[in-house]
Structure 1
Amino acid sequence: MEGKGGELADAGGVRILSTFQERLEEILERASKLRPEEMMFRYKGLLYPTVLTSVETLQAMHRFEARPDDMIITSYPKCGFNWVNQLLWDIASASQSEAKDGKTEVPNKVKLLEFEGAERYEMMKNEPSPRVYGTHNHYEDLPPSVHEKKTKLLVVVRNPKDNAVSYYHFYQNNPLLPNVGSWDEFFRKYMAGEVGWGSYFDNALIWEKHIDDENVMLITYEELKENLVDGVQRISKFYGLSLSQEQIEKVADKGTFQAMSEHSQKTHSTFGKVIFRKGVIGDWRTLFTEEQSQEMDAKFEACLAGTKIGAKLKYDLYC
C-alpha cells in the first residue's frame, strides 16, 4: 500500500519529488482526524482504506486504459509488492540504459491503481512506455482494458502465515489504518477476510483460475528470497526484455530486501520504515500459537491443497 498518487525517487536518486512528502503529510493529517471505525470503507464486499481511495476512484479505475506493453504487478497486501515493484522499475531502467548512454532516466513512481483516481489516469496516458504500476485487486476487479489488451500481469504470492504476521505489523505501524489491538484479534479478522482487500484465500483462489493464462506469471516471495538472480532473469524474460547477465546481477544486487530497506528513506520517504520491516521467511513463528497454526493449516488444506498455487507456495516447507 502506498500514498495516493505518490511519486518517489528512483533508486539511484536521479529524481526526488518532494511533493510526495507533502502529500503524505496531508494524508496523515486527514487520517489523524478519523475515528478507527471511519478509517476503512466497504466496496463490493471488501474493505479499503478511506484516506487512500474512494468509491469514485474504484469505479473510475474500470475506465483506466491499459497498454499491451505495461508492466503490471499484482499481489495481496504484504506479499512483497513494494519489493517487486522496485525490481520492475530497475529492470525497466536497465533495459533502456544503452539507449540513454548508461544513464537511468526512468522515474520510480509507486502506483497502485486503486489509489490514483480519474485525474491521474488521464495523466498516465501521456507517460512513455513501459509504464510500471500495480494493484492489490484480484483478477476480476482489474480494469477491463487489461484483459482486452492481454497486458502482462506479474502475480506475487507469499505463504499465508508470514503474510498474516507481516500484515498485522503493517496495521499496527501504519497511521493510515485502524489499530487492531492484539495479534489474536487480528488473526480472527484475517481468517474471516475482514481486513483490507478481503480474504487472502479468496484472492489466491481467483488467481488459481488464471495461473496458466499466457499473460500471467506467478512468482512467490520465497522463490525470490531463495534465488533473486534467477527471479530477475525470469521476470525480464516474461516482459520480453533482454538484459545481459551483468545487468541482471546488478539489478539483483541492488534489489535485495536489505538493500531496499536501507534505501527506503530515499525511495519511500518517512513511510519506508512502515513498508520495509524484516523481509524474512518464518517470522510467523514469533506470533502464531499452536492452535492458530493448526487453524491455518486446515484452511490451507481446504482451500489451496492440490492447486497449482498451493504447490508453488511449498506450504509444507515454509509453514
Structure 2
Amino acid sequence: MRWTIEEIRTFLDVLDAGSVSGAAARSNLSKSVVSKRIADFEAALGTALFRRHAGRITPTESAEELALRLRPALTEITRAVESAAWGMAGLRGTLAISAPMSFGIRHLSPVIAEFALQHPDLEILLDYDDQFIDLVRGRFDLAIRIGQLPDSRLIARKFCEDPRVVVASPHYITQRGEPETLADLQAHPCIGYLNLQSSSVWQFLREDGSVVGLSLDSRISANNGEAMRDMAIAGLGIALLPMFIAHDALTSGHLMRIARDLKPTSLPISAVWRPVKPMPMKLRAIIDHLAKAFSDGAPWAL
C-alpha cells in the first residue's frame, strides 16, 4: 500500500468541496490531476471512496470514517513539519482563514494583506462566506465571527465591539415618518436577514440591561449585510445594520440614523480556533496581528 500526503489532502478537499471541480478550484489544480490523485488513493487503499453517477460523486461511508481519522492526523503532521521550518526560517506553510463576506472584503483584507507582506513564505487562503463554518470538520485554521459566540470547544479572542444602528433612507423617512420607539418600529417594513430569525436580529437593550427581541415583517430579505444596506438606500424599509456596513452610507447621506433613543445590542468581533497544543506560530502570529489592528475598537465607528 503506497499513498502520498498530496493524495490525502486532495481526498479531503474533494470531500469538503463536494466535487472534483470544487476541489480543483480550491487547490489551484486541474480537474484531471485531482481525479488521478483520488483514483491512485483508492487503488492504494483497495476500496472505493466515492460513488460516481452521471458526473456527480458522493462519498462512501468508508470515506466519511476515514476522513474523521485523517483530519487530526494530517493536522499533526503539518504542524510538526511547519514548526521545524519556522524554527529555522520564519513563518511557512499554509494559513486558512474564514470570515463573513462584507467584513472580510471591507475591513479584513487590508489587514491580512499587511500580514502577508510581512511573511512572504506563508501561503494564505481566505474564504469569505456569511454562512457558519464548522472549524472542527473544516480545513480552516481560524475563523472571524461577528456576534455572540455559542458555547463550543473552540478557543476565542474578542477584538472589539461593533455598534449597530437603525437606519433608513431620507426618502423613506419623508414618506413614512421616523419611528422612535419599539412599538413604532413594528409598524414599519424592515429589511430582513435570511441567516437569522427576525427576533434574533432586532434586539435591543432595556434600561435594566435585559434584551428584548422584536419580530418584524420583512417585505424583502437578503443573506448579506451590504445587500440589506442597498435595499434600505433604495427606500424599501428600515434596517438594523452593523456600523462597519452602515458607516459610509451614513457619512454620504444615503442613509440616516433613526430611533436614536433605542439601544441595539452590539456585535462582538472575535477570532475562534480549535484548541491545539502547542499553538502553531502562524496561528499565534495572525491572531496577535488582528488584535493589534483592532485594538482601538472598531475603526469605522462614528
Give your verdict on TM over 0.5: no
**TM-score, length-scaled by structure 1:** 0.24
Pick the structure with more helix per residue: 1
Greater relative CO (CA pairs within 8 A, separation 6+): 1
**TM-score, length-scaled by structure 2:** 0.25
Q: Which has the larger radius of gyration?
A: 2
Pick the structure with more strand per residue: 2
